Amino acid sequence: MPGKLKVKIVAGRHLPVMDRASDLTDAFVEVKFGNTTFKTDVYPKSLNPQWNSEWFKFEVDDEELQDEPLQITVLDHDTYSANDAIGKVYIDIDPLLYSEAATVISGWFPIYDTIHGIRGEINVVVKVDLFNDLNRFRQSSCGVKFFCTTSIPKCYRAVIIHGFVEELVVNEDPEYQWIDRIRTPRASNEARQRLISLMSGELQRKIGLKVLEMRGNAVVGYLQCFDLEGESGLVVRAIGTVCTLDKLSNTSAFLPACNSPSKEMKEIPFNEDPNPNTHSSGPSTPLKNQTYSFSPSKSYSRQSSSSDTDLSLTPKTGMGSGSAGKEGGPFKTLLRQQTQSALEQREFPFFTLTTFPPGFLVHVGGVVSARSVKLLDRIHNPDEPETRDAWWAEIRQEIKSHAKALGCHAVVGYSESTSICEEVCILSASGTAAVLNPRFLQDGTVEGCLEQRIEEASPPGCGFCHIPYDELNMPFPAHLTYCYNCRKQKVPDVLFTTIDLPVEAIVIGKGCLIQARLCRLKKKAQAEANATSISNLLPFMEYEVHTQLMNKLKLRGMNALFGLRIQITVGENMLMGLASATGVYLAALPTPGGIQIAGKTPNDGTYEQHISHMQKKINDTIAKNKELYEINPPELPEEIIGSPIPEPRQRSRLLRSQSESSDEVTELDLSHGKKDAFVLEIDDTDAMEDVHSLLTDAPPPSGFYSCNTEIMPGISNWTPEIQMFTAVRVSRLGNINLTNQTLNKNFNDLCENLLKSLYFKLRSMVPCCLCHVNFTVALPEDELVQIAVTAVAITFDKNQTLQANKAPTEKSQQRASTDNEEQLQFPLELCPDPLASQPSLPAKEVLEGATSQTGIPAAQRDRCNSWIELIKLKAQTIRRGSIKTTASLDKTSPLAEGYLRHRSVPSCTNSTVSVVKMTPLSFLPGAKITKYLGIINMFFIRETTSLREEGGVSGFLHAFIAEVFAMVRAHVAALGGNAVVSYIMKQCVFMENPNKNQAQCLINVSGDAVIFVRESELEMLPVQPSTVVSQPTSSGGDVTT
Amino acid sequence: MTSDLDIFVGNTTLIDEEVYQLWLDGYTVSEAVSRRLRGGLLERSGTSVSVLQSDTRDHFRTFQMLERLLHSPPRLCQQLLFQIPPPRQAALIQGYYAFEPALARELLGKKLSKGTKKELDEVSARTGLSLRACRRQFDNFKRVFKAVEELKGPLAELIQQHFLLPPPLARDYAAIVFFANSRFETGKRRLQFLSFGDLAACAQHMMGHWTQGAMTPEAAEPDGDVPRSFLQDLKELKVLVSDKDLLDQHKSLVCSALRGKISVYNEMETNFKALSRALVNVGLKLPHPRDVRDFFVDLVEKVLDPCRSDHWSLGDLRLFLGSYTTAPRALGGFRHQLLWERYMAGISACLLRMYHE
């Protein structure tokens, strides 16, 4: 009996009128967890009932705690007929299950009904008493932390990054053909919501078990997706990166021993003995490491498969689970034959992270991706989801071999996705092949070749660009030069990656969002024929998307892409490809050559003229873009660049492209990829269209920048104002005589117009940058294209942009120092008497961080300021004398939270709603995340049978998305948080039937609930809360102000 | 390629003040778009008409969703659906409850009923406001009226509490509620020169001086009505004009006080009895619901018009009213000093406001 869940229903407000006669409602509440249900009394005749119930107690297994959501139903009591449901609230209690996160869930939740939307609010308090359970064979994995964030969360330190974890569960979809049974009562929607909630709980628990077996304590970059396979079922799958994380405040004890904050930060990863004080799970010596050295992939998958079968025997869930059980066989034998390096021992050396601790990423090879087309068949036995598992294993294997071909041992920035249309499913996986520093990984044993590479000590800022593969045995035709930064190693001419721009990278100018858009018609076909035609189309699409990206990159005078995401969507009669990435100019890579146009009929005078006109236009665009994005690489003498290159042929090409003369167009080498100057051959009208479309991409209006990565290269002085938004458009491709060209143009216009309207809407925020712009394309019906965009607009200070191009070392120093501040502020605050334990160092450290930020030499101001700081600290501890004990009792910084809550009460006197920020990024500009409260993973269905009355499709979806935001915010606020980071809308499935006046939409969102503190407030914090808390004691007379 | 569905939802609800005003003014989406185009927005932001249309539609949709909440502003502050910073919420509420004085002037003293609502198209034609805007403003009046109808306490404060309006706006609404309760006639041609501001100020003065709330905050009667007891007592003032002696004494007291101080002394002296009779009679009519309607007409016709035709200055009127009010203190045999001064304070304030030289 390892847990007791306690729930209290406090009150309701703004309930809908359920009794027309009295214009009032007789509301009561049912609280359900697992199979136990409690009821409150009926609160008669009120729209604002005050139930103030007793504590309802559920005594449950922790396994159940992880799987089940708490279900709260508000009903209207009716004496003569059945009670009418008003709506429901599902609360995921997972955040209460690990000790560092929230301790209580308490607040107002919107009461949600799948037919009517939000109908009033209910105030609920939820607590969990968890008893320790040391049973090794337990089925639960309470205590494993989950993060959607694809980097090491801000207030943690990665002790070990273990590697890839995956799991999937399948079930039958309770309602797979909604349109046929459109009059489905809300019960059907609710069954579906509940099932998915259960499945994701189960999935998370199983992943947690794997994490514990890998001896990690957290999953970072957790990505959970649903595949609505229609008749063949419902798949919930997840991937993530297992880590052993250490809360940063724990390390503060030995931190002051280090003099320079920046040095300290850099050394943490290399520390042989990283956690001397607290952690038990992390191995501390290489020798001890050996004792753990079971092959992680093998053992954990076996164990989990056995646990899976155990699970399937438990009667309460009728669903199955998947795992690398039987199907893993051949791969493992394959593995055994291989010489094993630290990474190769893993089944899949994949990492879902996109940002890494400094020094982790050694070299980057390039993007690897794999797709496969599958025919869905009914999942006859949900307990044996092997087929789905095998499909993914196959793809992952392919990714792995691609990475190997690039001379890389790992794949970073890894993600998986699907696109389903009828019974055809495209599975996609992509990532960036990379060589990693093994010191971060569990197995300390380092292979010779790996070790060697690292010992070479690649210079910061360009090391990751250096090719990991063998120059003489290149996997693909590439054009290598010596690195423009260190001139020691070879680099490719362009670099495509799926990760974020490493902090240490040296970038010239700013970045920009680059998209490749493509449509291909396909014949309507059934089953196998359909799958075959799709498989045949895929390589062409990939090729064209790649070409478009390359052209657009060159057109902007840039040489690298980060955050590349290629999405291929399948519809009934077409395929759509949308690739988004952030283009930058990496100082280490060569200057990209221009684009040259060549015509097929050189004798035709007018044609020639036209070509040269186009050429001029392109050259102008490139020049304009270079100016726009401030790309002014330092001019290098050509000899220096050219001389190390042995082949004279290549050298001449290089020179030619540098001079950008267009008179050499006649001598063409069409095997592109081998040359600098990119040649576009115009041989028919199609190609002409392509060139035109290249030039139609309008640059963002002045004051706007956009990117799809976390940070915008070249902008660092963010101001705290952010605006997260979701925009959705559905367009009808009306024509019957569609051609690829018109389709392409329509699709292109759709995307461009959408971007344009975003810029227009957000014009009041200028200067600002749209970050993490995430497009998703769906083809819900024959002629419909749906595009959903989620992004965040962040304002920045224009006046300081000049300072933005700081040397990267300076930047990393800055980062380190701010991180240090983060570590210190809170321990300091809570330490009952900081003066006794560490006389002057902490204050000094903090100060150093602050001063180095403002750019004033720290040493000069050091002495007097630290003196002032000391006085402040002293005063504070004296003042806080009476409340000291209560403050230090709590696990983290209760003062910070109290202060925060106090502050977040808006100035509007009647308002009690606290502001919750949402962002797809992992950070909030100008703020520090002080606590992670747990993962938010919510799934909602909304349906209407009165579409016109709700304002048509736009009104319906607008309201629904607003409701989803509201419910996410309410949950975060109830956890005590004030922001969601790494927010993502993973699914938005919209279906309409205007003739029947009906529509339905499914939305799945996730993110990390956090508490943040503004940096400006943080400085005041040590003083401010004491005044807040000391108010009661002031009567005692021990406060002097 | 037509867009069937086109939405934008921000975590913080995006509100464009210009578009909000267009919506409040009752324009349709296409009218609003053409207005925005005329404002030169296209040139400034370098965008296309379709973008502008989509933006306008989006905003209008948001406002329609917000409208339900704006009907009860405290709910707007408590609701979770739209995250709007409190200053923005206040601006939204203020914008929604702002009204055109010309429209309010038309409606003053009318019953806020369905019948009146049906006449709004005429009002719309007269004021140049769109019918939609007229309806919204009318509904606002009615909503506020209904909300405070049964409540007790100072009217303006009640309205401020229930609708979170800024104090000046709440006072204006209080005036509208006061007029709706009292049903004073204000539509006569003779009264057309009085603006909404004038009448609202009068209402505030009357409430301020006469209603129970002004005397004791926890009064038993709603503020929108002048208490009956006070009105009944006004009958006692009759002696001031019916008793010849008192009238004469009153006159001589005022005359001696004002001699040399006002420019229109002679005119005042000759007109004193007529003025005094008019001023007292207005009070005597107040207890009779049928005669109440004539309150403003009487004040204008019997007090202000004679003054105006004699070219009194505002200062003259002020001085006269001042001594006229205080003089009875010296009147032997007049026992209703407090009642008199309370009554005259209200009347004087109204007259001074209404007197346009």
What are the beta bridge partners of residue A428?
Answer: A371, A417
User: Taking residues A809-838, what's their average pLDDT?
Assistant: 37
Q: Residue A83: pLDDT above 90? A: no
What's the CA gap between A548 and A581, in Å, rounded?
Answer: 12
Identify which of A754, A781, A748 has the alpha carbon closest to the alpha carbon of residue A519: A748
What's the CA gap between A685 and B144, in Å, rounded?
Answer: 67
How confident is the model at residue A814, as a pLDDT? 40
Q: Residue A330: pLDDT above 60? A: no
CB contact under 8 A, B78 and A759: no
How confident is the model at residue B137, as a pLDDT? 93
Q: Residue A203: pLDDT above 50? A: yes
CB contact under 8 A, B5 and A957: yes
Contacts of B46 in chain A (CB under 8 A): 701
Angle at A735 between CA A731 and CA A738, to 5 degrees: 105
Contact A970, B78 (CB under 8 A): no
**Sheet holding A218-228: strands in order across?**
A145-146, A218-228, A234-247, A156-171
What are the beta bridge partners of residue A235?
Answer: A170, A227
User: Taking residues A743-749, what's their average pLDDT?
Assistant: 86
Cβ atoms < 10 Å from Cβ of A1016: 11
How confident is the model at residue A745, as a pLDDT? 84
At a CB cut-off of 8 Å and minimum separation 6, what does B93 contact? Answer: B70, B73, B76, B163, B164, B165
Q: How far is B203 from chain A (nearest CA, A)?
A: 28
Structure tokens at A199: 């499945």
How confident is the model at residue B119, as a pLDDT? 84
Burial of residue A564, with CB atoms counted within 10 A of its CB: 0-12 exposed, 13-18 middle, 19 or more buried: buried
To test the contact with chain B by mutation, choose from A773, A908, A964 the residue with the greatest count of B C-beta atoms within 10 A, namely A908
Structure tokens at A141: 């994995």
Identify which of A686, A664, A688 has the alpha carbon closest to the alpha carbon of residue A677: A664
Q: Residue B163: pLDDT above 90? A: yes
Contacts of B82 in chain A (CB under 8 A): 962, 966
| pLDDT band, very low/low/confident/very high, at A771 (cuts 50, 70, 90) | very high
How confident is the model at residue B133, as a pLDDT? 92
Sign of the dihedral through C-alpha A582, A583, A584, A590: positive
Using CB atoms, which residue from A729, A911, A963 is nearest to B3? A729
What's the CA gap between A472 and A271, in Å, rounded?
Answer: 36
Contacts of A907 in chain B (CB under 8 A): 86-87
Identify which of B196, B243, B237 has the alpha carbon closest to the alpha carbon of residue B341: B237
| pLDDT band, very low/low/confident/very high, at A181 (cuts 50, 70, 90) | low
Q: What would the pLDDT profile of A125-134 be if each residue is shown by its tens digit?
A: 999 887 765 5
For A765, phi then psi, to 5°, come to -90, -5
| pLDDT band, very low/low/confident/very high, at A230 (cuts 50, 70, 90) | confident
3-state secondary structure of A930: strand
| pLDDT band, very low/low/confident/very high, at A412 (cuts 50, 70, 90) | very high
How confident is the model at residue B262, as a pLDDT? 82
CB contact under 8 A, A761 and B58: yes
How confident is the model at residue B27, as a pLDDT? 93
One DSSP character per residue, A596-636 reads EEEES-TT-HHHHHHHHHHHHHHHHHHHHHHHHTT--PPP-
Contact A963, A930 (CB under 8 A): no
Could you list the beta-strand ranges (E) of chain B: 2-10
What's the CA gap between A950 and A118, in Å, rounded?
Answer: 13
Lowest mean pLDDT among A86-90, A121-125, A330-334: A330-334
The pairing of strands A560-570 and A495-496 is parallel
Contacts of B93 in chain A (CB under 8 A): none
At a CB cut-off of 8 Å and minimum separation 6, what does A208 contact? Answer: A66, A140, A141, A142, A143, A144, A146, A219
User: Taking residues A149-169, what's their average pLDDT?
Assistant: 88
Angle at A106 between CA A899 and CA A149, to 5 degrees: 75
At a CB cut-off of 8 Å and minimum separation 6, what does A300 contact? Answer: A210, A213, A214
How confident is the model at residue A700, as a pLDDT? 83
To test the contact with chain B by mutation, choose from A732, A771, A950, A958 the residue with the greatest count of B C-beta atoms within 10 A, namely A958
How confident is the model at residue A262, as a pLDDT? 35
Contact A29, A53 (CB under 8 A): yes
Q: What would the pLDDT profile of A437-460 be if each residue is shown by its tens digit?
A: 877 765 443 333 333 344 444 556
How confident is the model at residue A969, as a pLDDT? 95
Contact B297, B245 (CB under 8 A): no
Q: Residue A905: pLDDT above 70? A: no
Q: How far is B121 from chain A (nearest CA, A)?
A: 26
Total number of residues shown for chain B: 357
**Better-predicted residue by pLDDT, A370 or B219:** A370
How confident is the model at residue B164, as a pLDDT? 93
Cβ atoms < 10 Å from Cβ of A358: 18
Q: Residue A843: pLDDT above 50? A: no
Q: B265-285 and B314-326 helices cross at what angle (nearest 10)?
A: 60
Q: How far is A965 from chain B (nearest CA, A)?
A: 7
What's the CA gap between A401 and A408, in Å, rounded?
Answer: 9
3-state secondary structure of A726: strand
Contact A585, A509 (CB under 8 A): yes
Identify which of A857, A852, A850 has the alpha carbon closest to the alpha carbon of residue A810: A852
Q: Residue A152: pLDDT above 70? A: yes
Tell me what ipTM this predicted complex has.
Answer: 0.87
Q: How far is B97 from chain A (nearest CA, A)?
A: 17
Identify which of A158, A152, A239, A148 has the alpha carbon closest to the alpha carbon of residue A920: A148
Contact A497, A620 (CB under 8 A): no
Q: What would the pLDDT profile of A608-620 be if each residue is shown by its tens digit?
A: 777 788 888 888 8
At a CB cut-off of 8 Å and minimum separation 6, what does A882 contact? Answer: A1030, A1033, A1036, A1038
CB contact under 8 A, A723 and B12: yes
Q: Residue A121: pLDDT above 90? A: yes
User: Taking residues B8-30, what's their average pLDDT?
Assistant: 93
Q: What would the pLDDT profile of B227-282 be if each residue is shown by its tens digit?
A: 777 888 888 888 888 888 888 888 888 888 888 888 888 888 888 888 888 888 88
What's the CA gap between A546 and A577, in Å, rounded?
Answer: 11
How confident is the model at residue A892, as a pLDDT? 36
Highest-confidence segment of A167-176, A398-407, A434-443:
A398-407
3-state secondary structure of A583: strand
Q: What would the pLDDT profile of B314-323 be if each residue is shown by its tens digit?
A: 888 888 888 8
Contact A984, A792 (CB under 8 A): no
| pLDDT band, very low/low/confident/very high, at A599 (cuts 50, 70, 90) | low
CB contact under 8 A, B86 and A908: yes
To test the contact with chain A by mutation, choose from B5, B13, B33, B157 the residue with the greatest count of A C-beta atoms within 10 A, namely B5
What's the CA gap between A593 and A678, in Å, rounded?
Answer: 7
How confident is the model at residue A636, as a pLDDT? 55
CB contact under 8 A, A913 and B52: no
Contacts of B52 in chain A (CB under 8 A): 760
Cβ–Cβ pairs < 8 A, chains A and B: 150
How confident is the model at residue A249, as a pLDDT? 65
Contact B345, B209 (CB under 8 A): yes
What's the CA gap between A224 and A197, in Å, rounded?
Answer: 12
**Better-predicted residue by pLDDT, A288 or B84:** B84
Highest-confidence segment of A36-50, A526-540, A684-698, B179-193:
A36-50
| pLDDT band, very low/low/confident/very high, at A165 (cuts 50, 70, 90) | very high
User: Taking residues A177-199, what's their average pLDDT?
Assistant: 74
CB contact under 8 A, A727 and B12: no
Q: What percent of chain B has pLDDT over 70?
A: 95
One DSSP character per residue, A285-345 reads SHHHHHHT-S-HHHHHHHHHHHHHHHHHHSTT-----B-SSSTTHHHHHHHHHS---TTTT
Identify which of A556, A546, A535 has the alpha carbon closest to the alpha carbon of residue A577: A546
Identify which of A949, A579, A999 has the alpha carbon closest to the alpha carbon of residue A780: A999
CB contact under 8 A, B9 and A108: no
Q: Residue A774: pLDDT above 70? A: yes
Q: How far is CA B46 from the centre of its chain?
A: 44
One DSSP character per residue, A223-291 reads EEEEEE-GGG-EEEEEEEEEEEEEEGGGGGGTGGGSS-HHHHHHHGGG-SS--SSS-SSS--SHHHHHH
User: Taking residues A1008-1014, what's their average pLDDT?
Assistant: 91
How confident is the model at residue A728, as a pLDDT? 94
Q: What would the pLDDT profile of A878-900 be if each residue is shown by its tens digit?
A: 333 333 333 333 333 333 333 33
How confident is the model at residue A344, as a pLDDT? 53
